[in-house]
Amino acid sequence: MRFVLLFLMLLGVACGAEEAPPTEELISDEDLSISPWHWHSTPVIEPGGSLWLGFTATNPTLETVTGGDFWGKSTLTLISLSGATQTVPGARMLEVGDYIGDMEPGAGDTAVVKIEDLFSFTETGPHVLRWETPFGVMDYIVMVLDGLDYLYYRLENDVVYNEWGLYLYGMDGVFLSNSLATRVLAFGEEAIDGLAAFLDSEKECSIEGSEEATIGSMYEHRVKDYAAIMLAVILGAHVPELRSMDPAERDAGVEKVRLLLTEGGY
Where exactly are the structural domains of the chain?
Answer: 2-144, 147-263
Mean pLDDT of the chain, nearest integer: 89
What pLDDT was estimated at residue 174? 79
Query: 158: Cβ–Cβ under 8 A, 6 or more apart, which residues?
Result: 39, 40, 41, 164, 205
Q: How confident is the model at residue 27 (pLDDT cuts 50, 70, 90)?
A: very low
* Banded pLDDT at 170 (limits 50, 70, 90): confident
Structure confidence at residue 42 (pLDDT): 84
Where are the strands (E) in 115-260, listed by range? 125-133, 136-144
Angle at 174 between CA 169 and CA 175, to 5 degrees: 100
Instruction: Tell me the C-alpha distance between 27 and 136, whole Å.
Output: 11
CA dist., res. 180 & res. 161, Å (int): 9
pLDDT digits (tens, 9 = 90+) for 209-264: 998 899 999 999 999 999 999 999 999 999 999 999 999 999 999 999 999 999 99
Q: How confident is the model at residue 75 (pLDDT cuts 50, 70, 90)?
A: very high
CA distance 37 to 90: 19
Interatomic CA distance for residues 247 and 258, integer angstroms:
16
Could you tell me the fold of the domain covering 2-144? Immunoglobulin-like (2.60.40)
Tell me which of 20-24, 152-156, 204-208, 223-227 is least confident.
20-24
State the Cα–Cα distance between residues 171 and 59, nearest whole angstrom.
49
Q: How far apart are CA 39 and CA 50, in angstroms?
A: 12
Task: Give the distance, in angstroms, between the CA of residue 265 and the centroid of all CA atoms in the same chain.
Answer: 32
pLDDT digits (tens, 9 = 90+) for 93-133: 999 999 999 999 999 999 999 999 999 999 999 999 999 99
Helix (H) or strand (E) holding 85: strand 85-89
The rounded Cα 263 to chain-centroid distance in angstroms is: 34
